[in-house]
Amino acid sequence: MDQIVCDFVAKGVVSQLVHPLDSYYATNRLINLLKKEHYGTTLTPSIPLEDMLDLMDQLVEYAVQEKVIDDTLRAREELEAEIMDVITPAPSVVNKAFWEGYQEAPMRATDDFYKLSKNNDYIKTRHIAKNEHFKTTSKYGVLDITINLSKPEKTKKDIEEAQNSFGNYPECQLCAENEGYKGRPGIAARTNHRVIRIPIQGENWGFQYSPYAYYNEHCIVFTKKHTPMNVTRQTIANLLELVTVLPHYFMGSNAGLPIVGGSLLGHEHYQGGRHHFPMEDAKVTDTWQWKSKPSVTAEKLYWPLSVIRLRSLSIEDLVESGSEIMDAWNDYTNEDLGILANTGETVHNAVTLIARRNGNAYELDVVLRNNRTSKEFPDGVFHPHPDVQHIKKENIGLIEVLGMAILPPRLKTELREVADYVLGKDVEVAPYHLEWANTLKELPNITEENVTTVIQESVGKKFEQVLEDAGVFKQTAAGQEAFQAFTKKFR
């Protein structure tokens, strides 16, 4: 174990995470974490050095065996974060390096910070590698499908601890106070967490990467103060400023209402990254110049959700035109299509916003959403309907809007069972898959060689239907006629 401690620190030095002058300091911090009373004084690093994360695993196993920590998921994750914090520079050092790199190029700054966040295991690269990905065709273009397997399974004890947890510091997983926080039941370990302070509209926000990223360089930008999601004109200005500061990233905001919003509405935040999503390639069905701001080109997209894309060299004009859509949509009701702006005091209309650069121009996608429920659709009228919930029941947030399905981990096993069932093997499938599985079983010429492709294509069709369910103006004559009428005031 002494050799592993020595090698871990040496690997940190070689990886330029630990300054050579800090090696004794880092060694002693590790010894303290492991509660070792003795340590060899004549050790030299092994040649070659093992992978950093493999060394970390051995340190954690030692701590479990020596009963330094309990053998629980939470205790292991907390120690992992503390061990990786030993080789992670202080927040002030990380911020200084980011903005120095930024002077050379914005991409240099994010590349270095992204590399650090992977090397210190804040981004859980080994867990993310477990996710399954495939692409399927649809009438709207190619769709991305992901089965999310990255988050470790919690034990019964972990769940009970989280349910019985007390305390409100930090208030949520996105609060700035998570930087360096050991963790508690219900709040993940963040000792090795680092946040870049980034100015937006005169206020400091936090910029970090997602620990369980769904796509390349999946980042999160959040308010320093714990403030609930509130999508307004200011949101548009913030997103456009962010893609000015980081022009190689897209930035988007979930809608601020339940059902059509993301999974975390209690803290205002945006998501972004360096990834090309299917919606960016959607066909354009109509183009016009914005009535009040002729510098803005507007496009209506052929996409299952209802999207207006705005493009201009002027940020100010995009803010104005985007705000006009939001104001009009907030008051829009069409009972024939089931769209109600309000029921009593309850607001239903909202928007999902996505900003990006297109050469020197700025683009803003405004996606119209509605979260009304009914007796027929208690989970949401514009939400995945019961016939597709065996594949996707969760909220349709920003990432799904863009054409990437984030499907639950249960599907890894369940889809394999469906494949065996379709091939005539003696297996049971989940009851909620049975009708679908029987439909697939009736298809001709299914073999061991093509059954996976057949099922993946069918999952893609289900996701296509999920997105169509979430669309307010359907791709029907009535839906598109109403969409055209909604945009009339902007022409």
**SS3 assignment, position 138:** strand
Label residue 27 left, alpha or beta by phi (over 0 means left) and psi (-120 to 50 means alpha). Answer: alpha
Per-residue pLDDT tens digits for 247-282: 999 999 999 999 998 878 999 999 999 999 999 999
**In terms of DSSP bridges, do strands 283-289 and 297-302 run parallel, antiparallel, or are they unpaired?**
antiparallel
Average pLDDT over residues 218-245: 96
Q: Does residue 383 have a pLDDT over 80?
A: yes
> Quick one: how far is CA 39 from the chain centroid?
42
User: Residue 136 in contact with residue 459, Cβ under 8 Å?
Assistant: yes
Q: Which string of DSSP letters, residue by residue, matches 204-267?
A: EEEEEE-TT-SSTT-EEEEESS------SHHHHHHHHHHHHHSTTSEEEE-BSSTTTB-S--SS
Query: 198-202, 431-435, 478-482: which has the minimum mean pLDDT?
Result: 198-202
Q: What is the predicted pLDDT for the residue at 362?
A: 98
Q: What is the predicted pLDDT for the residue at 282?
A: 98
Q: How many residues does the chain have?
A: 491
Q: What is the strand order of the sheet 132-138 is part of?
A: 132-138, 141-147, 404-407
**In terms of DSSP bridges, do strands 196-200 and 203-209 run parallel, antiparallel, or are they unpaired?**
antiparallel
> Average model confidence (pLDDT) for the chain?
95
Q: What is the predicted pLDDT for the residue at 155?
A: 57
Q: What is the predicted pLDDT for the residue at 263?
A: 79
Q: Does residue 161 have a pLDDT over 70?
A: no
Residue 349: both structure tokens together: 């209309």
Q: Which residue has the tokens 């629980």?
A: 72
Average pLDDT over residues 288-316: 98
Cβ neighbours of residue 487 under 8 Å, at least 6 residues apart? 286, 288, 298, 300, 308
**In terms of DSSP bridges, do strands 141-147 and 404-407 run parallel, antiparallel, or are they unpaired?**
parallel
| Alpha-carbon distance values, 332 to 306, 327, 342 (Å) | 14, 9, 9
| Alpha-carbon distance values, 364 to 18, 50, 188, 246 (Å) | 41, 46, 34, 15
- Helices marked H in 246-382 — which ranges? 315-330
Q: Which of 21, 167, 39 is nearest to 89 (CA)?
A: 21
Q: How many CA atoms lie within 13 A of 212 on its CB side?
A: 12
Per-residue pLDDT tens digits for 406-463: 999 999 999 999 999 999 999 999 999 999 999 999 999 999 999 999 999 999 999 9
Q: What is the predicted pLDDT for the residue at 42?
A: 86
Which residues, in sequence order, are bridge partners of residue 124?
none
Per-residue pLDDT tens digits for 115-134: 999 999 999 999 999 999 99
Q: Does residue 162 have a pLDDT over 90?
A: no
Query: 52-56, 70-74, 457-461: which has the minimum mean pLDDT?
Result: 70-74
Q: Rounded to an integer, what distance in angstroms lies between the CA atom of residue 267 and that of residue 225? A: 8
Q: Does residue 163 have a pLDDT over 80?
A: no
Q: Which string of DSSP letters, residue by residue, matches 108-155?
A: HHHHHHHHHHHHTTSS-HHHHTT-EEEEEEETTEEEEEEE---SPPPP
Q: Rounded to an integer, what distance in angstroms lies between the CA atom of residue 302 and that of residue 315? A: 25
Q: Which of 331, 308, 354 is nearest to 483 (CA)?
A: 308
User: Residue 354 in contact with residue 398, Cβ under 8 Å?
Assistant: yes
User: Residue 340 in contact with residue 389, Cβ under 8 Å?
Assistant: no
Model pTM? 0.94
Q: Rounded to an integer, what distance in angstroms lies between the CA atom of residue 132 and that of residue 459? A: 13
Q: Which residue has the tokens 């945009």?
A: 487
Q: What is the predicted pLDDT for the residue at 164?
A: 63
| % residues pLDDT > 90 (the chain) | 93
End-to-end CA distance of the chain: 71
Q: Does residue 472 have a pLDDT over 60?
A: yes
Q: What is the largest CA-CA distance in the chain?
A: 81
Q: Rounded to an integer, what distance in angstroms lies between the CA atom of residue 181 and that of residue 202? A: 27
Per-residue pLDDT tens digits for 142-160: 999 999 998 765 555 665 6
Q: Does residue 487 have a pLDDT over 90?
A: yes
Average pLDDT over residues 168-183: 93
Q: Which residue has the tokens 């975390």?
A: 264
- Helices marked H in 261-390 — which ranges? 315-330
Q: What is the predicted pLDDT for the residue at 41?
A: 81
Sign of CA dihedral 335, 340, 341, 346: positive
Q: Does residue 318 have a pLDDT over 90?
A: yes
Q: Rounded to an integer, what distance in angstroms lies between the CA atom of residue 336 and that of residue 358? A: 37
User: Residue 206 in contact with residue 95, Cβ under 8 Å?
Assistant: no
